[in-house]
Chains A and B, each alone.
Chain A
Amino acid sequence: MPDTADLTALAITLKLAGISTLILLLLGTPLAWWMARTRWRFRFLLEAVVALPLVLPPTVLGFYLLVALGPHGPIGGLVETLGGRPLAFTFTGLVIGSVFYSMPFVVQPLQSAFTAIGQRPLEVAATLRASPLDRFFTVAVPLARSGFLTAAVLGFAHTLGEFGVVLMIGGNIPGETQVVSIAIYDHVEALEYARAHWLSGGLLLLSFLMLITVYALNRRFRLAQP
């Protein structure tokens, strides 16, 4: 059976994934919208930056974030000057790391959903008196709903499984920054295979259920559209 420490790690993991996904949706939606519609010739540069976490070893990303967030880094230093705690080895630091780490999993599905809508429905809405913001919320968002679902679930699920970045910038402070993936690693190190099984199995089941939901719902959305 998982003990209290394991349950705390699970709670921190879910909280981290939830908050990160929320922030990613808020930041990623306008970014994806802009990337789907801009004719800026250097758009590919931004696309490459967003996609970097897909190929970069998490430890590399984690290392740079650690440097940036630490007391001598540009962000950590700034926060400290303003009277805050340094961000490295805190939950806030983990959220920042997760946002970078899971960015492509949210932005890319949204961008392709927005691209797939095309120009036409928005033009139709414009001729029906809808302002640009109105068009975005009443046409683009509902038509891109399967993209939002995919983005939210992939962002959430990917943050659940995060290991390298968390280890680099969060450390392994039980009750504060210890997430499930690291707890599993600790259990294996300590040869507590039974507890590692509980946590691994739980994470496996959760991830699988979420993906099933996405694919089933996306199928329904597709059936509802010609």
Chain B
Amino acid sequence: MNVEARFRINRGDFTLDVDLRLPGRGITALLGPSGCGKTTLLRAIAGLESCRDGFIKVGDMIWQDSGRCLPPHRRSLGYVFQEASLFTHLSVRGNLEYGLRRVPETARRVSVDKAIDLLGIGALLERSTVQLSGGERQRVAIARALAVSPDILLMDEPLASLDAARKQEIMPWLESLHEELDIPVIYVSHSPDEVACLADHLVLLEAGRIKASGAPGELLTRLSLPLAHGNDAEALIDAVVAGHDDGYDLTYLDFPGGRFTVTRKALPAGHSVRLRVAARDVSVTLEQQSGTSILNSFPAIIDEIMPEGSARVTVRLLAGGVPLLARITRKSAALLDLKNGKSVYAQAKSVALLS
């Protein structure tokens, strides 16, 4: 179910000009500042935004080509809007069944029960939509979109209208979607945090054009992109649970550059996890340190150094080929004589588990 989308949309002084090719599985995040055209792009894929100049192919189905354009209701897609936008004249169950009833039985691959289970809304079915919390509403909206057995799921900042607590409530459900669904998901966001948790593939949009696309861990640490320069710059590392230390209550996580030691997590060996390492928590040493309390230290090669204002630099390191960022002072970089290609050790003071 590969996805191809090419558009040229002119809206006054704004032009969206993109050529997207997405893998047929996993979550692709469209990340960019507001006004960069990410919602317009998503709406164009859904057919909600009319554009004459475009091409969309999802799997074997061509949704739009020169002259031909399927209306939105003929496209096999699920769409989650920024606000849940539930039908207020229907109950929760009525909302879930609205789309389902319009899908021929032969095309139903996701049962309502599965959608209800996936989002944990079984207890809400007979309620009126006005009795739901913001987080519950958004979960119903996601289940409603899944219940039509779409070939692709489009999500337009589904967490943007929720407060931090509600976001925390929904995040686990989104992560489980990620594991359970075998359809591509396009997830529009302006928050690198959400993207870090969810995305398998990242597309950066800026002023209507694709600035970069690739693996999130790669793009978040690319020094030519703005993401690596913010205060919250971070690296993402995919690791596997290697085992536990019962004596000290710790868990070992292996990645190509070495082994992380973290406080014990209730995860089986072999389980995949994603780690977040903030640039400001990483320091650089020339030799393996012995007299230190920091357990997470890896041999690495300096890939690139860029100044960050007048006092700091951001160092991109490769540990076993996996990129890491370190935010250190320019003075330290000079004292250690850091330069591209030099072998060093990267020490991570703190590590966060994302999933």
A residues lining the B interface (CB < 8 Å): 120-121, 123-132, 134-135, 138-139, 142-143, 145, 224-226
Query: Which of B46, B89, B128, B130 is the one whose CB lies under 8 Å from A143?
Result: B89
CA gap between A138 and B71 in the complex, in Å: 18
Contacts of A143 in B (CB 8 A): 87-89
Give the complex CA separation of A170 and B77 in angstroms: 58
Inter-chain CA distance A226–B128, complex, in Å, is 11
| B78 engages A224 (CB within 8 Å) | no
Closest residue on chain A to residue B104 by CB atoms: A129
Q: Please, which residues of chain B bring their CB within 8 A of the CB of A142?
A: 89
In the bound complex, residues from chain A placing their C-beta under 8 Å from that of B88 are: 143, 224-226
Cα-based distance from A47 to B144 in the complex (angstroms): 38
> Is the C-beta of B72 less than 8 angstroms from some C-beta in chain A?
yes
Chain A residue with the shortest CB-CB distance to B131:
A226
- Whole-angstrom distance from the CB of A132 to the nearest CB of chain B? 8
A126-B71 in contact given A120-B85, A143-B88 (Cβ < 8 Å) = yes
The answer for the CA separation of A134 and B128 in the assembled complex, in Å, is 22
A143 to B86, CA, bound (A): 12
> In angstroms, how far is the closest chain A Cβ from the Cβ of B39?
12
Q: State how many residues of chain B have any CB contact under 8 Å with chain A.
A: 25
Bound together, the chains give a CA A131 to CA B72 distance in angstroms of 9
B239 at interface by CB-CB < 8 Å: no
B71 CB contacts on chain A under 8 angstroms: 126, 131-132
User: Could you say which residues of chain B place their CB within 8 Å of the CB of A128?
Assistant: 73, 98-99, 102, 144-145, 148
Interface check B48, CB cutoff 8 A: yes
B81 interfacial by beta-carbon distance below 8 Å = yes
Chain B CB count within 10 A is highest, among A125, A127, A132, A226, for A127
Q: Does B85 contact A126, Cβ atoms closer than 8 Å?
A: no
Known: A120-B81, A121-B85, A124-B81. A130 touches B128 (CB 8 A): no
Measured CA separation A126–B89 after assembly (Å): 17
Contact B87 A139 (CB under 8 A): yes
Using Cβ atoms and an 8 Å threshold, which residues of chain A touch B73?
A: 125-132, 134-135
Shortest distance between the CB of A136 and any CB in chain B (Å): 12
Q: A121-B87, A225-B130 are in contact. Are A130 and B102 (CB under 8 A)?
A: yes
A127 touches B46 (CB 8 A): yes
Which of B46, B48, B128, B148 lies in contact with A129, CB distance below 8 A? B148
Between-chain CB contacts (< 8 Å), 11 pairs = A123-B48, A125-B87, A126-B47, A127-B73, A129-B99, A130-B102, A134-B102, A139-B87, A139-B89, A224-B130, A225-B88
Residues of A within 8 A of B89 (CB): 139, 142-143, 145, 225
Closest A residue to B141 using CB positions:
A124
In the bound complex, what is the Cα–Cα distance between A123 and B78 (angstroms)?
12
Contacts of A224 in B (CB 8 A): 88, 128, 130
Least Cβ–Cβ distance between B236 and chain A, in angstroms: 31
Q: Does B103 contact A (CB under 8 A)?
A: yes
A104 CB to nearest B CB, Å: 27
Q: Mark B71-111, 1 if CB is under 8 A from A, else 0.
A: 11110011101010101110000000011001100000000
